Amino acid sequence: MALQSLDIQARSATTTAVPGVRETLDVAKLIDISKCIGCKACQVACMQWNDLQGEIGHNHGDYQNPRDLNDTTWTLMRFYEVEPEPDRLEWLIRKDGCMHCADPGCLAACPAPGAIVRYSNGIVDFHQEHCIGCGYCITGCPFDIPRLSKKDEKAYKCTLCSDRVAVGLAPACVKTCPTGAITFGGKDEMIRHAETRVADLRERGFVKAGLYDPPGVGGTHVMYVLQHADRPELYGLPKDPTISPLVELWKGAAKPLAIATMALVGLASLFHYVTKGPNAVSREIEKETEHEEEEQA
């Protein structure tokens, strides 16, 4: 079962009631773009912690590497050379990755039971063992974050280091950030911290500085401090992100089916319990899997 520190609050394609008694801290990561030096320590720390071995690509005429988010790149520095006013160059560098929406479009879109969950602390996590590789989560995401792997046809994205947070640590990117551009804590506390940062930036002449915590997705558990909060597009961010209407449509059409499905799942689980006992991986399945993997290799 899930660790108690991370009660599941929502689960894709599932209507089973979720535990609701324990009150956990609503966490958030705050990325202050005005302090970010684009060093990519977060990218490397993410790969290291999550055991991701990326491809060694090419230089495409800029500092952004890899080219885009992918199955082994769950966070990526995006570089923007902009002139918000004439003759004033700014190099805006944004750490891109999952926003951990309070109302996650990926989870709403996902048809695979338990492939996407939202924990009570706000983290939205993908569980690849349940992922069917349909890519609906990508359609559902207003920030274009999840990526399907060519290796195993499964969707991957930032987990906000749910394994670290579960044992009381901050995500790897947060811990490593040399300048403290990434901070982590309770969401309320992060908003208060952001307010002090915004005040500092305004004092330094960024009169439109502000917090990016878009309400269209219920707010996010990854927020940005922007020097130009009135122009999120300068940073490659959507101005008013919402869940795609396609996902809403899918949810509407699928609803009756989903109910029927859940009944079936319930029955199947009961059958499983009666015949095999509580969840345990059978030796045959393990062997079978290993055998297949050998065949493929």
**Contact pattern from residue 45 through residue 64 relative to another protein, giving x for each residue in contact according to CB under 8 A and a dash for the rest:** x-xxx---xxxxxxxxxxx-
Least Å from the CB of residue 146 to another protein: 14
Least Å from the CB of residue 69 to another protein: 13
Q: Give the strand pairing for 155-156 and 147-148.
A: antiparallel
Contacts (Cβ under 8 Å, ≥6 apart) of 176? 41, 42, 44, 45
The answer to the question of whether 43 is labelled as a binding residue is no
**Contact pattern from residue 65 through residue 104 relative to another protein, giving x for each residue in contact according to CB under 8 A and a dash for the rest:** xx------x-------x-x-----xxxxx-----------
The reply on whether position 9 binds another protein by CB under 8 A is no
DSSP one-letter string for 113-136: TTTEEEETTS-EEE-GGG-----H
Write out the binding residues for another protein, residues 208-247 only, by CB under 8 A: none
The answer to the question of whether 36 is labelled as a binding residue is yes
The answer to the question of whether 46 is labelled as a binding residue is yes
DSSP annotation of 155 reads E
Least Å from the CB of residue 66 to another protein: 7
The reply on whether position 248 binds another protein by CB under 8 A is no
Q: What one-letter code names the amino acid at 118? A: R
Q: Give the strand pairing for 222-226 and 27-32.
A: parallel
The answer to the question of whether 101 is labelled as a binding residue is yes
Write out the binding residues for another protein, residues 116-145 only, by CB under 8 A: 117, 125, 127, 129-130, 132-135
From the centroid of its chain, how far is CA 184? 15
Least Å from the CB of residue 38 to another protein: 5
DSSP annotation of 189 reads H
Least Å from the CB of residue 214 to another protein: 25
Q: How far apart are CA 59 and CA 63, in angstroms?
A: 8
Q: Minimal CA–CA distance to 156: which of 143, 171, 146, 144?
A: 146
Q: How far apart are CA 220 and CA 223, in angstroms?
A: 6
Q: Minimal CA–CA distance to 254: which of 89, 65, 43, 15?
A: 15
Q: How far apart are CA 146 and CA 97, in angstroms?
A: 9
Write out the binding residues for another protein, residues 27-46 only, by CB under 8 A: 34-41, 43-45
Q: Which residues are annotated as a binding site for [4Fe-4S] cluster?
A: 36, 39, 42, 46, 98, 101, 106, 110, 131, 134, 137, 141, 158, 161, 173, 177
Binding residues, by number, are: 36, 39, 42, 46, 98, 101, 106, 110, 131, 134, 137, 141, 158, 161, 173, 177
